Amino acid sequence: MRISILTIIVALLVGCAEPQVRDDDMAMTAATSARWAASCALCHVRGEGGAPVVGDAAAWQPRLAQGLDVLLAHTVEGYNSMPPLGYCMACERSDFEAMIRFMAEVR
């Protein structure tokens, strides 16, 4: 039987992603991590346009002070140079919540 390349790729991805999966709702699952890497990371790794950089607690502190609901609203609706949905059309509210907590290092 011929094993397709796609099957191998999927198997590799699942294998690599496994350790990131935690069981609480807020966790960056493998799927959420992939979405983050394909969207938010474009700006939030280097701080494009003044975006708060991932893991920079000092940059995130005043943002977190607004409350998670405000941050979620700004993610969905956009905020200044922050584009609506952060370029992630497939993201769910739970993805955004996990991404924000991940970037701001809220555990």
By CB under 6 A, name the binding residues for ligand HEC. Answer: 39-40, 42-44, 48-52, 63, 66, 70-71, 74-75, 79-83, 86-88, 91, 96, 99-100
Closest C-alpha to 30, from 104, 107, 102, 105:
102
Q: How far is CA 103 from CA 5, 7, 10, 24, 53, in A?
A: 33, 32, 27, 17, 7
In the bound state with ligand HEC, the residue whose beta carbon lies nearer, of 7 and 81, is: 81
| Shortest Cβ 6–ligand HEC spacing (Å) | 26
| Shortest Cβ 99–ligand HEC spacing (Å) | 4
**Rounded CA separation 107/5 (Å):** 37
In the bound state with ligand HEC, the residue whose beta carbon lies nearer, of 22 and 93, is: 93
